Amino acid sequence: MKFVYLDHNATSPTRAEAVKEMMPYFTKIYGNASSIHSFGRDAKRALEESRTKVAVSLGVLDPKEIIFTSGGTESDNLAIKGVAYKNQKKGNHIITTQIEHHAVLNCCKFLEKDGFETTYLPVNEFGEVDPDNLKKSIRKNTILISIMHANNEIGTIEPISEIGKIAKENGVLFHTDAVQSIGKIPVNLNEMNIDLLSLSGHKFYGPKGVGALYIRKGTNIGALQHGGHHEKNHRAGTENIPGIVGLAKALELNINEIQSENQRLTSLREKLWKGLSDSIPEIVRNGSVKNCLPNTLNICIKYIEGESMLLSLDNVGIAISTGSACTSASLEPSHVLLAIGRSPEMAHGSIRFSSGKYTTDEDINYVIDNLPPIVDRLRKMSPLYVHK
Ligand SMILES: *Cc1c(COP(=O)(O)O)cnc(C)c1O
């Protein structure tokens, strides 16, 4: 059977070049980066070289502004809780959006139990935040704005430069969850006035369980995890050297490939949409066509369930997702699709295709050939459809 993996927004395979770079750090260069002896110094050298590589890839002049973490979730937690608790005397108000990843949303929910207040900005039908709305929601006690760069479910890219400018003008710290954008589209930390940025290795062909947080020099932020003096006291714990080496290598390679990959993935995405919308009646595209990640296509297919389509596609070797991977075990409709105005029924009929580096033209043809008959069969069984 043919296998077609179109779930890269959930995770991606670790690319061979990154695996190769990581291998010696499991068996030969296994020292603790905090040890003084040669084994430790070798590990420390790899750690700092990786930090510099990440800094260069992101256009950051001082590698000290990069902190390694265990992934996107930890980076989001460190940014939001780290800023919140450290700035408590200044204020207790945080601004975010209704369409954030749960790593951000549930941080805010947690902080609300501890006396913090959150404004969840709405988005328009394409999933875009209105900068004027952000401006109006800033209060005297606002200490942090956390708005994602690109949405993991629908691929919408937020107006980060405008948001960063507003944050700066109002003297409010700005964090962005860039887990879906780093390595996929250009990010300029200075032009975008970003103070804190989260990224995760496994979303750009690096290993799982390793990420980073960019912290602009001078940002008032504490730690979540206490112990040794690792990572400038922002993140105690022996560093995951193989993971960090792999993340740095994957990031470096991906950033260099952004332009050529973007063109290729955008044309594959449009080919997929055309192929499906030509042969399946009553399907709707979610998110923005203009401001969208090149690899992401999210659609609603009326009268049938996303889960049924997912399982039928899985039977022919095609991997996709419904809503976001983190909520797929629950039957709640996606909070992102509800926020862009889809009804719960429509949201239940949504599926997401997210292609990647190894996705080919044939893969897309395979989906275009296989999905329409599946939709046909499922609709024939759907009471919603028969009653039409
Ligand atoms: C995957 C993802 C995360 C979580 O990253 P992990 O490394 O899996 O913890 C956070 N935010 C967004 C937008 C994501 O897509």
Q: How far is the CA of 204 from the CAs of 74, 238, 288, 384, in angstroms?
A: 17, 24, 22, 39
Radius of gyration of the chain (CA): 22
Q: 16-253: what fold?
A: Aspartate Aminotransferase; domain 2 (3.40.640)
Residues in contact with ligand 1 (CB, 6 Å cut-off): 71-73, 76, 101, 103, 148, 152, 177, 179-180, 200, 202-203, 211
For the CA of 326, the closest atom of ligand 1 is 1
pTM score: 0.96
- CA-to-CA distance for 317 and 3, rounded, in angstroms? 4
The protein residue with its alpha carbon nearest to ligand 1, atom 15, reads: 152
The CA 200 to ligand 1 mean position distance, Å, reads 7
Question: What are the pLDDT digits (tens) for 193-229?
Answer: 999 999 999 999 999 999 999 999 999 999 999 999 9
Residue 326 a catalytic site member = yes
Phi, psi dihedral angles at 16 (to 5 degrees): -55, -40
The CA 376 to ligand 1 mean position distance, Å, reads 34
User: CB atoms < 10 A from the CB of 267, how many?
Assistant: 13
Q: Report strand pairing: 4-5 vs 318-319.
A: parallel
The protein residue with its alpha carbon nearest to ligand 1, atom 6, reads: 72
- Residue ranges per structural domain of the chain: 4-11+258-381, 16-253
Question: What are the pLDDT digits (tens) for 46-79?
Answer: 999 999 999 999 999 999 999 999 999 999 999 9
DSSP states along 185-230: S---TTTTT-SEEEEEGGGTTS-SS-EEEEE-TT-----SS-SSS-
* 283 within 8 A of 301, measured Cβ to Cβ: yes
The confidence band for 330, taking pLDDT boundaries of 50, 70 and 90, is low
Q: 4-11+258-381: what fold?
A: Aspartate Aminotransferase, domain 1 (3.90.1150)
Question: What are the pLDDT digits (tens) for 337-375?
Answer: 999 999 999 999 999 999 999 999 999 999 999 999 999
The CA 152 to ligand 1 mean position distance, Å, reads 8
Pocket-testing residue among 75, 149, 200, ligand 1, by greatest number of atoms within 8 A of Cβ: 200
